[in-house]
Amino acid sequence: MTAVVTYREALNQAMREEMRRDDRVFLIGEEVGYYQGAFKVSKGFVEEFGPQRVLDTPITEAGFTGLAIGAAMAGLRPIVELMTFNFGILAMDQIVNNAAKIRYMSGGQLSVPLVIRGPGSAAHQLAAQHSQSLEAWFCHVPGLKVVAPATPRDAKGLLKAAVRDDNPVIFIEAQLLYGTKGDVPDGEEIIPIGQAEVKRMGQDVTVVAYSKMLLVALEAAQEAANQGIDSEVIDLRTLKPLDVATIVRSVRKTGRLIIVEEGWRFAGLGAQIAESVYSQAFYALDQPIVRVTGEEVPMPYSRNLEDLAIPDRARVSAAITRMVRR
């Protein structure tokens, strides 16, 4: 049995179930308690679990992230909510130099079972400082796992897996996905970290995307289908560790690859994906890999310029058509 729930509700369910299952799990962040989270993901939590397990903090990302790292080292399993991953920049020293390295530097004596979650990428007219896709930063750091689900089902199953993982997990939720709906199975479903999923089967071209760009890719694939082009769409779900094997299997079938990402092109995640495919499936490719990315600019505030800076259905559909019809 399944139920149709929003992305927001799926995250709420995952955290609630994990906090009921394991009293070591707690939630900490700005306004997560009595305000119920900036995006209402923690609605009802303080009433059920109390202020000792749902902790409202001052506006100090470095402070409460460091506190959570210490709690994880001591045996608890914190979930840190960032009001936006743009504010995670303020906690990068804690994330990169402590959370990611302590297990290695202690020779495995200490672990940091920590989830850092919250909205990333652009919403609508939040301007340059609140619209950044920073996932490539986190993927660059050894010791961190990075997850970016696109659907309610994946959001719930992957968040439950992240809470149970003994390593720090960066869990990025696109703000514009919170209100989207999808089927979520009743009962417990754990989706393993590190496994991509083929969301649409096809023969002509492979399109790889993640987070809200998956929805764009699926729309573009449907538009291309109207022209007789059969696209296979892969949702990465996990960005690190990257499921290269699923991508390579698809590329060996289609001979073509398009990578869609909202982030900036230079040193973006798509560059790593392309390198991995070139090194493992170069002779399966009929054409060079194409990347559809965000523009190399700070995000404009003006809505028409913002729309131009972010990949959309038309750009992805055009890339598919050009590649297949070439």
Nearest alpha-carbon partner for 151 in 4, 311, 313, 320? 4
Q: Which of 9, 18, 30, 61 is catalytic?
A: 61
- Whether 140 is a known active-site residue: answer no
Please, what are the domains in the chain?
A: 2-185 (3.40.50.970), 197-325 (3.40.50.920)
Q: Is 130 a catalytic residue?
A: yes
Active-site hit among 17, 130, 140, 295: 130
Instruction: Tell me the average pLDDT across 51-59.
Output: 97
User: Exposed, middle or buried, 20 (CB in 10 Å: 0-12/13-18/19+)?
Assistant: exposed
pLDDT of residue 55: 98
- Specify the pLDDT at position 205: 98
Is the model's pLDDT at 325 over the cut of 90? no
Q: How many CB atoms lie within 10 A of CB 304?
A: 7
Is residue 222's pLDDT more than 80? yes
% of the chain exceeding 70 in pLDDT: 100
The pLDDT assigned to 1 comes to: 86
- Mean pLDDT within 171-182: 97
Please state, in angstroms and rounded to a whole number, the distance separating the CA atoms of residues 29 and 47: 16
Q: What is the pLDDT of residue 284?
A: 98
pLDDT, tens only, 6-50: 999 999 999 999 999 999 999 999 999 999 999 999 999 999 999
Q: Which of 68, 83, 70 is nearest to 27 (CA)?
A: 68
pLDDT for position 153: 98
What is the spatial distance between Cα 213 and Cα 260, in angstroms, rounded to a whole number? 7
pLDDT level of residue 187 (50, 70, 90 thresholds):
confident
